[in-house]
Amino acid sequence: MAAAHFNRERTRRRIAVVFFFWSLISLSCAGRLPVERQKLDVQKHLNRLNKPAVETIKSLDGDTIDCVPISQQPAFDHPFLKDHKIQMRPNYHPEGLYDDNKVSTKAKDRTNPINQLWHMNGKCPEGTIPIRRTKKDDVLRASSVKRFGKKKRRTVPQPRSADPGLMNENGHQHAIAYVEGGKYYGAKATINVWEPKIQQPNEFSLSQLWVLGGSFGEDLNSIEAGWQVSPDLYGDNNTRLFTYWTSDAYQATGCYNLLCSGFIQINSEIAMGASISPVSAFRNSQYDISILIWKDPKEGNWWMQFGNDYVMGYWPSFLFSYLADSASMIEWGGEVVNSQPDGQHTSTQMGSGRFPEEGFGKSSYFRNIQFVDESNNLKAPKGIGTFTEQSNCYDVQSGSNGDWGHYIYYGGPGRNPNCP
Tally of residues, the chain: 420
Integer CA distances (angstroms), 238 to 199, 234, 277, in order: 14, 8, 9
C-alpha span between 240 and 272 (Å, rounded) = 8
At residue 9, what are phi and psi to the nearest 5 degrees? -65, -40
Distance in angstroms between the alpha carbons of the first and the last residue of the chain:
83
C-alpha span between 218 and 306 (Å, rounded) = 30
Active site residue 374: no
In the sheet that holds 64-69, the strands lie side by side as 55-58, 64-69, 128-132
Phi-psi region of 178 (alpha: psi -120 to 50; beta: other; left: phi over 0): beta
Catalytic residue, chosen from 195, 203, 224, 331, is 224
Helix, strand or coil for residue 41? helix
Active site residue 224: yes
Catalytic residue, chosen from 335, 358, 374, 389, is 335
189 in Cβ contact with 366 (< 8 Å):
yes
| Residue type at 272 in one-letter notation | M
Catalytic residues: 224, 335
